[in-house]
Amino acid sequence: MLDFGQNSLIPSRAIAIDHAQGILGGLLEEGVGRFNHCSCFHSSEICSRIEGIGLDFNIQAGAEQFGSPGNDTLSGTEADDLIGGRVGDDDLLGNRGNDSLYGGQGLDILQGEAGNDYLSGDLDSDFLLGGEGADIFVLAPVPPLVFFGVDFILDFEPGADFIELAGGLTPESVFLESVALQPGTLDTLIWYTATDILLGVVSNVPAEQVIDRLIVSVLAATAAPTLATAVNLGPLTADLTVNGAIDDLNPQDIYRFDLTSASDLNLTLTGLGADADVVLVQDLNGNGAIEVTDFVDRSEEPGSLPESIAVSALPGGTYYVVVYQHQGNTLYTLNISALPNPESNPDIVVGQFDSQFGYGLVNGAGAIAAAVGLPVFGDVPDLGGDDWGRDLINAPEVWATGTTGIGVTVAVIDTGVDYTHPDLLSNIWINLGEIPGNGLDDDSNGFVDDVRGWDFVDRDNDPMDLNSHGTHVAGIIAAQRDGIGITGVAPNAQIMPIRVLDGEGFGKVSDAISAIQYAVQNGADVINLSLGGDGFLQAELDAIQWATQQGVVVVMAAGNESRSQPNFPARFASNVGLAVGSVTQTKALSSFSNQAGALVLDYVLAPGGDGGFSNAGDIYSTVPPAIAGVPYAAFAGTSMATPHVAGIATLIKQANPNLTASEIEQVIVGTASLSGLSLG
C-alpha cells in the first residue's frame, strides 16, 4: 500500500484537539467508555460496526487469524487468540482469554473483552477497548503523516492497564496533557514531543493517572546494548542458518557478519511461536552500541508471522543482526544470504555521506553550472516571502541564465493534479497524439483520450486531483512565474498529471508501477514520487531501474516518520534514483523527516518546512480551489522537498540534454553540501 505520508498535512494542536473532541463527542457518552452515537467526522458506519462486531467470522480456540485486504470482522474464543486486521476497516473482538489484537492499516475497532489483552491499532486512527483484565494498549509514531492517525483508548483502568510506547518512543519523548474534551471529563492527550503530533487520547482519565502507566517496548527497554558479545558468523560467503531462542531472561540475540563486496542481502526469521522482531545494524560511529541511527533496516510483523529484510546493493562492510523479543518466549530460525551485486551504484562516494543528512542540501545553481561546465553563477536577489524554498536552493540564479525548464516534462505521480489551476494551466502536458473526446486511442498507447495524463485509480482519462497533495507538488515544480501566488523551481516546464492515490491519499503499488511505465512511454523526462510505503517490492525497483535506463530521472520522498532511514521506494536510491529528505528555512533537518540511514544511498535534502504551528515555516504552493476554497496553501513534508529536487533535475535536463539520468543524479549529489546543516 502506498500513501502520501510524505505530505505536510500535519494538523496543528488546535486542529488536532478539535478533531479529537469531535470524535469523542460523537462516539462516547459523557464519561462512559463505550460507543453511543456517531458524529459526521466518521459517519454512522462506526456505530453500526460496533453493534455487529464479532458476528461475521469466528476462529478456532487458540488459533491465529489475519484478515483479508478488505473490511473484516474477526472474533476470538475463550482461548488465547491472535487476531490481525491487515488492510481495511476491521472489527476485532478478543472474547475471553489473553488475546493479542493488531488492527493493521485502516480505521479499526479493537475490543479485548475479558482477559489480559494486548491491543495495537497500528496504522491510521483506531479505537481500543481493553475490557476486563490488565490490558496493554500500544502507541507508536503516526505513520507517514497521515493527517489524523490518533488512537483512542476508551476504557483505560489506571490501576490495571498499561500503555506501551513502541516504534522508538520513550516516556521522555512524549508529553501528556490533561484536556476536557467533553463537559465533565478530563482526558489525556499524548503528544510526540519531537514533531508535536498527537499520538493518542485516553478517554476520561487525567494525565497524572496515566504518566506512571507508561512502559517501553523490549527493544527500547534494552537500549544501547553492547555489540562486543555478538556471535561472529564471519564472512557471508554462503547461506547461513542459525537456530536460537529468546525469552524473558534472554530478550535478544546479536550476530555479526561481514560482506566482502556490495551484495543483495536477504534475511528471514521463521519458526516463531511468539512475537519476535529483527533489526539489521551497521555500527557507523564505532561506539559498540546499537543506536537508531545505526539501523539499516528492520522487520516488525505482528504475532508469530515470519520476519524478513531485503536490501539491494548493500555495501561491503561489517553488519549486525539483532533478534529481539517483542512479546512472549519463542524459538527461531535465522537465515541470512547474500549475492554479489555487480550493478550496485559505483558513483556513490562513501566518504562524503552522512547517515543523517546524506550528501546535504541541494544547490540548484551549483548543479546547473556543473552540468554545463561553467563557474558557479553569480548571486541574484532572493524572491523572499512564500518562495523561500526556491531561494534556499538558489533557483533564481539559474533563471537569470535563461534556464527555466522549457521543453522538459515532469510526471507527477500522485493524487492527480488540478490542471485548471491558473498557476498551472499553461504548463500542463498535452498528449498531441490524441484527439480529445473521440473515444479512440489515437496514438495507440493503450489509453483512450489520455489528453492530459491518466487516472490509474478510477481507470479513466481524468487525473483531476481530489485531495490537494498532487497539485501542491506540481506547483513547487512548475508554477508559472507570473507575479501571482508562487513560482515553481522550473516555471516553464510541463507537468504530466498521473493519478495513483485516491482522495484519502492511498493507492496500490501496482498502479504506481503502471504509472511509471506510462510516464516513460509518453515522454516524461523526470518522475516525481512524493509517496511511499514500508515494503520492498522487486517489481517496483525493476520499474524505477527501467525508467532510469530510458533516461528518466526518478526522485523519491524519504518519508515523514522521523525514522533513521527512508521508506520505499526512496530506499532504492542505494541503487537507482534520488531520495529526498526535508530541511527547514534555517537548514535544520525537519523533525519529521526520515534520515539518510546507515545504508549509503543518493540521499539529498531540500526545503520541506518545519510542520509547526505557523504556516510561515512551511512550503506555500498551489492547491485546488474547489477543495481548499483558496488556490494556495502551506504544507510541510518530504513530499514538498522532493519536487524541489525534481525541479532541479528538470533545469539540468534543459541545460544539458545529453546527460544520462544517472549523470544528472550524480551532478545533484555532487553539488549538494553539508555546510550549515543541523538537527531540528
Distance CA 329, CA 509 (A): 35
Half-sphere exposure of 477 (CA within 13 A, CB side): 37
CA 369 remoteness from chain centre: 33
Q: How far is CA 394 from CA 73, 365, 368, 410, in A?
A: 54, 5, 10, 20
Reply yes or no: is the peptide bond before residue 569 cis, omega within 30 of 0: yes
Contacts of 612 (CB under 8 A, 6+ apart): 196, 618, 636
Contact status, residue 401 vs residue 380, Cβ threshold 8 Å:
no
Half-sphere exposure of 261 (CA within 13 A, CB side): 9
Closest alpha carbon to 595 in 391, 344, 365, 291:
291
Active site residue 639: yes
Instruction: From the candidates 100, 621, 639, 662, give the one annotated as an active-site residue.
Output: 639
Closest alpha carbon to 122 in 137, 102, 100:
102
DSSP SS3 for 667: helix
Looking at 532-677, which runs of residues are DSSP E strands?
Answer: 553-557, 578-583, 588-589, 603-607, 619-622, 632-635
Q: How far is CA 334 from CA 11, 242, 268, 270, 635, in A?
A: 42, 5, 6, 7, 43
Distance CA 233, CA 114 (A): 45
Distance CA 355, CA 283 (A): 11
Distance CA 487, CA 479 (A): 5
Distance CA 217, CA 164 (A): 6
* Bridge-based pairing state of the strands 494-499 and 409-414: parallel
Distance CA 625, CA 628 (A): 5
Instruction: From the candidates 19, 421, 469, 644, give the one annotated as an active-site residue.
Output: 469
Distance CA 391, CA 3 (A): 29
Closest alpha carbon to 240 in 257, 228, 263:
257
Distance CA 514, CA 398 (A): 33
Contacts of 644 (CB under 8 A, 6+ apart): 362, 389, 390, 393, 476, 489, 580, 606, 607
Active site residue 469: yes
Distance CA 278, CA 300 (A): 7
Radius of gyration of the chain (CA): 25
Contact status, residue 582 vs residue 669, Cβ threshold 8 Å:
no
Instruction: From the candidates 89, 414, 449, 610, give the one annotated as an active-site residue.
Output: 414
Contacts of 572 (CB under 8 A, 6+ apart): 312, 540, 541, 544, 556
Q: What are phi and psi of 46, to 5 degrees?
A: -65, -40
Q: Give me the long-range contacts of 518-521 (CB less than 8 A, separation at least 24).
A: 518/411, 518/447, 518/454, 518/456, 519/411, 519/413, 519/547, 519/552, 520/546, 520/547, 520/550, 520/552, 521/445
Distance CA 385, CA 620 (A): 9
List active site positions.
Answer: 414, 469, 639
